Amino acid sequence: MQIDALFEENDPPVAVDRSEGSDSPSEESFDRVTRLTRRFFDVTMASITFVEGHRKGTKAQHGVMFGEAAKERTFCEAVLRGTMPVIVPDTLADARYKTNPLVVGDPHIRFYAGVPLRGHDGRVIGILSAMDTKPRRCDVADLEVLGDLASAVINDLELRTLATTDELTGALSRRAFREQASRAIALAIRHGHELGCVCFDLDHFKSINDGHGHAMGDLVLRESVATCMDTLRQSDLLGRMGGEEFAILLPHTGPATALMVAEKVRAAIAALPIIGTNGRIPVSASFGVSTYGPGIGDIDELLKRADIALYSAKTTGRNRCVEWIDAQSATPPVIRRRVLKAGLICFNGGRSTIDCTVRNLSSQSAGLDVLDVSEVPQRFKLLVRSDALHRACRIVAKQEKHVEVEFW
């Protein structure tokens, strides 16, 4: 049954948080609270509701079946808007409620008591409600018990958050990401939805820790994750898989859009204004993208494909996004070999040169170490005398004392 409006549509909005998904399956810990609420108050109905954005969904309920509804159209809107519990001893005696369909029709609510579920940051994320088909009074002791039951729900949520969230960055833990991603894949398989996956790794992160200290490294991790969360949708999943490695799951997202999202996140991380003792610290990440399709039955295969693409992104220049390509239908990406050769950057018609060290090389690109990247022009010629190599280059990425180039 959908809950109809008891308040005007122009009531002010309330700050809410997703916290626990309103459309997730019922769970015994929440069901237990609704059973205790019914038993203690001797009422016929009790529910736990979580609010997500503009909508509301019932997580646990006993004695009544409420569906999902827009939050401005719910019986609980007064609780969401206020800071105190809402008690309605007799709905038929209250002008605001006496004509409401849930009062005059099924389930014939005559008594309502609701207390807000308030997170640790003070925001209301849901409501614990007790309802009955006959009028009744509610004293201070009753309210205290209802408040204690609401606290039990919040404590349960916060314990779950500690168990499923990476303490440093706020991303999902590896285990929590895999569990939630597995459920998302099951839904995609069942309903034929598209699903995208992105693996990314912060470039040269060890050099940040070594050169600027672990505290600065932690800051880079936190800021990178915060930037990702600001860029992604609320329905997307972001997990820390270990160290500086992360994964993103994108529900209802096809290959082209997944690659576009990865590029948007890459650009946001590259633009981070992280300032160290010696000035701005360059931060970048390499991305691998895969999408759900034939041959994928679980999260392991989806992550494996994204990780293969990520390896290609790192070996072909870093600070870039690469999509996984089926080896049976396309040529695999060119992998650069590691080398250590003296090179020369030539420009101005050969009149200007800069010494460099070639770190990795393929027929299409190279990675070069230099003393000062600011002196290297966007286009130049690379000379490696030991290999008789002379190639026109274009810079595709810059790091501290390092440039990535493509041959053209």
DSSP per-residue letters across 350-371: TTEEEEEEEEEE-SSEEEEE-S
DSSP reduced 3-state for 184? helix
Show the tokens assigned to 203: 């470039």
301 annotated active-site: no
d(CA 203, CA 367): 13
Strands 124-132 and 279-280: unpaired
d(CA 176, CA 239): 8
Write the CB contacts of 253 (distance below 8 Å, at least 6 apart in sequence): 194, 195, 196, 261, 291
**244, 263, 301, 323: which is the annotated catalytic residue?**
244
d(CA 391, CA 369): 17
Write the CB contacts of 303 (distance below 8 Å, at least 6 apart in sequence): 197, 199, 247, 290
Give burial (CB, 10 Å; 0-12/13-18/19+) of 270.
middle
Say how many residues make up the chain: 408
Helix, strand and coil percent figures for the chain, each rounded to 5: 35, 30, 35
Residue carrying the six token digits 């004392």: 401
Write the CB contacts of 118 (distance below 8 Å, at least 6 apart in sequence): 124, 125, 150, 154
Write the CB contacts of 138 (distance below 8 Å, at least 6 apart in sequence): 87, 89, 111, 113
* One-letter amino acid of 118: R
Nearest to 250 by CA among 178, 186, 195: 195
**How many DSSP H helices and E strands does the chain contain?**
9, 19
Which residues are known to be catalytic?
244
